[in-house]
Amino acid sequence: MLPIESLGLSANQWQFLSYPEKYVEASKRSGRPLVLETTERQFLTARDILTRLNGSKGQETRRGLLLADDVGLGKTTVAALVAWIVASAGEKRGVRVLAPNDVMMRRWVEELRSHVEPLQKCATHLGVHANRVKEGRVGRLKAGSIQVVKHSYAAKGDILKCDLLIVDEAHRAKGDGTAFSNALKRQKRHARRVLILTATPFSIRLEELQRMLTLVGGEAAHSPVRSFSRALDDLYSGSTARDPEVVAERLATKAKAAVEALSSFVIRHGIDDLPREQKSFGLRAEWNIDVQPARPEELELLMRMDRALRVAKHDTSESSRATNDPRFHVGWRHFDAVRHSMKNETPRYSEPTRAVIEHQLKAIQGLRAEVGIQPKIAAVATAVESVITQEEKVVLFCDHHATAQELTAHLDSVLPKMAPLQSLPPHAWKAAWDVVLEPSADGSDTEALRDTFVKWLCTALVRAQTSSWLPTGTTLSSLADALTITNGRHPRGPESIAAAAQHLYHVLIQSRSSRAVLLWASKYGLEILPGANGRSRVLGVCQPSEDEKEESLFLHNQQPDTVIAIFNSPFGPDVLVVTDRLSEGIDLHRYCRHLIHYELDPSTIRTVQRNGRLRRVNSWAAATGQPIRYAYPAFCGTRDHRLVQIMKKRIDSFSLLLGGVQDFDVEEVEGSDEKWRNEVIKTAKASLETVGRQLRASEQ
């Protein structure tokens, strides 16, 4: 291991971080305005990180740090500032950023570039320039540059010698023996400092957390961390016959010891511990969606299928199908698919299994003819309709593709279609957009891209949407003006329709994949762009269904940048049905404050991550002064309801336990045990809250 060399920074070089007001002011012209309260905390965090990494102000020099802020608090922003300062100050240094995937990589580039203008104004001594950001492979990392690459880049064996290695979403690198994990071990020797951005510490597997601590030189924390981790295991797996108070005290004691040991290497803020910032994130409000409880015939369907699958499994031991598949409880599409495949498989079963399965399938067929639309889908569709008629966007999360497909198709079939105003024909729109849409400042656009984008703005759905926001009586001649003075979707929206379109265009052409999509659309047709095909207000970002009639409802490429960018604008599909692929590291908050957990994943952290897509700085909720609404609809009488019940409780204790809330199998959780756990957590709450705050950034 290399000795901890000085980074050669001086605290004066980040002095500007003590004046966030100026920076916030500067950011308003960057297209990404910052919020003062949040920026103050982010700047404090950045100062703390730099002080610790550099060994300033009498601090012991650290080889590395873990930044484990809650989702939505802007870890990327903090790390980007640190990256710029380390790279640019004084002698200049090389910084590398490892992002988990292409989307995140592009987001990093965007984040880094968004700081160029404010830094040029507030920290002129740094001399930052956008061309210092290097996306993808580079020959040799020059001093002053920041390279952004994917995790896989590190795993390929390149030596990533640098002064600061930033590893984003490090917890995604599962397993000790993986290529990325091994690469990180190797890179540790070549990186002078390591900054790891990760999820809430104890939501990560213990081994992974220990590995990260090792990377930042925090081996000393291994023992108390292991000890608290065991206390958490004990909470979820140990005997529930014990006195909750005793267990609570032990838990709090172990948490305190772990946090004390971690505090040198970990900085973390919980979103609920930042009352000054709540407004900028957006307040939360309950969103109840009443689902008609399962009727006996629906339950019988589920039970019969469960039975048929169990009998089949018992007979051959080959079937890997889940017998009480969670998908069966939230939709019929997968249920029917399994039913059909089982029917084809029956000849391979021995008697009497075959007879039993055939009997069940026959009964199921009869019952399926009786039951109609899945009640949860029907209830959610009603709720979604009421939201979008109020000019709101909604994102719905599913755990499975089949569920997302079914939900998307149903929503499309029932949601009201939008029709554009006849008085404003397409050519009028084109003329208006040509007027208001400015060319890209950096010259990165082309006529073809711009034309395509304008054509998309003139498609039926976008025209219908846009015209619905315009003042009554907008005419052909006043259209351009109206676009520049009217906000999209809500009078208190963050920008005018024209500014929103401008921003969207900017984002699209900055993204390599979105540029490719626009280019493709310019050559082959607009259908590839979300919302361009027909009047559907719904888009499914999941594996497309095989039904040709549903082809236009789904994203057909693996690059969701374009969809995300459009969803973060007032235009395009109002309803996004997604799987958990979009649950991490993606912003969906700029024009959406409604999230429906249509189908939960049993992982608590996954649910927390989903919620984090909307509860972020500069959210639509904050801009419009309306609350963020999370809905957990449940199909009463089925395991879906149980899952929701447990999840809601566990989410509440997630931050309190520093993420140490375990995943669960809904059928294995005993009600009395869960009650006991909640009692333990409730008893330990005050202590845990105090303990958790010790990891916050401070003025060293």
Decide: is 667 part of the binding site for other proteins (CB under 8 A).
Answer: yes
Of 268, 304, 339, 593, which lies in the binding site for other proteins, with binding defined by CB under 8 A? Answer: 304
**For the range 304-307, what are the long-range contacts, defined as Cβ-Cβ under 8 Å and sequence gap of 24 or more?**
304/360, 304/363, 304/364, 304/367, 305/335, 305/338, 305/339, 305/360, 305/364, 307/360
Q: Are 631 and 287 in contact (CB under 8 A)?
A: yes
Residue type, 83: A
Q: Which of residues 119-178 bind other proteins (CB under 8 A)?
A: none
Please give the span between the terminal C-alpha atoms of the chain, in angstroms, as a whole number.
27
CB nearer to other proteins: give 129 or 295: 295
Q: Kindly state the smallest distance separating residue 478's Cβ from other proteins, in Å.
A: 57
Q: Are 51 and 264 in contact (CB under 8 A)?
A: no
Decide: is 355 part of the binding site for other proteins (CB under 8 A).
Answer: yes
Q: Are 170 and 140 in contact (CB under 8 A)?
A: no
Decide: is 651 part of the binding site for other proteins (CB under 8 A).
Answer: no
Query: Can you tell me whether residue 156 is helix, strand or coil?
Result: coil
Of 30, 120, 278, 324, which lies in the binding site for other proteins, with binding defined by CB under 8 A? Answer: 324
Stretch 572-611: interaction string toward other proteins, x if CB under 8 A: ----------------------------------------
> Which neighbouring-strand residues pair with 166?
97, 195
Decide: is 321 part of the binding site for other proteins (CB under 8 A).
Answer: no
Of 161, 310, 313, 321, which lies in the binding site for other proteins, with binding defined by CB under 8 A? Answer: 310
Query: Can you tell me whether residue 165 is helix, strand or coil?
Result: strand
DSSP line for 190-249: HEEEEEEE-S-GGGS-HHHHHHHHHHTT-GGGHHHHHHHHHHHHHHHHS-TTS-HHHHHH
Of 307, 597, 629, 696, which lies in the binding site for other proteins, with binding defined by CB under 8 A? Answer: 307
Name the maximum alpha-carbon separation found in the chain: 82
Decide: is 675 part of the binding site for other proteins (CB under 8 A).
Answer: yes
Decide: is 352 part of the binding site for other proteins (CB under 8 A).
Answer: yes
Decide: is 232 part of the binding site for other proteins (CB under 8 A).
Answer: no
Q: Kindly state the smallest distance separating residue 380's Cβ from other proteins, in Å.
A: 19
Decide: is 642 part of the binding site for other proteins (CB under 8 A).
Answer: yes
Q: Kindly state the smallest distance separating residue 299's Cβ from other proteins, in Å.
A: 5
Interface stretch with other proteins, choices 101-109, 294-302, 375-383, 546-554 (CB under 8 A): 294-302
Cα–Cα dist 209/171, whole Å: 8
Decide: is 416 part of the binding site for other proteins (CB under 8 A).
Answer: no
Decide: is 671 part of the binding site for other proteins (CB under 8 A).
Answer: yes
Question: Both tokens of residue 616?
Answer: 């972020």
Decide: is 543 part of the binding site for other proteins (CB under 8 A).
Answer: no
Decide: is 251 part of the binding site for other proteins (CB under 8 A).
Answer: no
Decide: is 299 part of the binding site for other proteins (CB under 8 A).
Answer: yes
Query: Can you tell me whether residue 484 is helix, strand or coil?
Result: helix
> Which neighbouring-strand residues pair with 162?
191
Interface stretch with other proteins, choices 283-291, 348-356, 474-482, 610-618 (CB under 8 A): 348-356
Decide: is 636 part of the binding site for other proteins (CB under 8 A).
Answer: yes
Residue carrying structure tokens 């900085």: 267
Q: Kindly state the smallest distance separating residue 637's Cβ from other proteins, in Å.
A: 4
Q: Which of residues 432-471 bind other proteins (CB under 8 A)?
A: none
Q: Kindly state the smallest distance separating residue 642's Cβ from other proteins, in Å.
A: 5
HSE value, Cβ hemisphere, 13 Å, CA-based, for 475 = 2
Q: Are 397 and 330 in contact (CB under 8 A)?
A: no
Decide: is 638 part of the binding site for other proteins (CB under 8 A).
Answer: yes
The contact set with other proteins (CB under 8 A) reads 293-296, 299-300, 302-304, 306-307, 310, 314, 324, 351-352, 355-356, 359, 636-639, 641-642, 645-646, 666-672, 674-675, 678
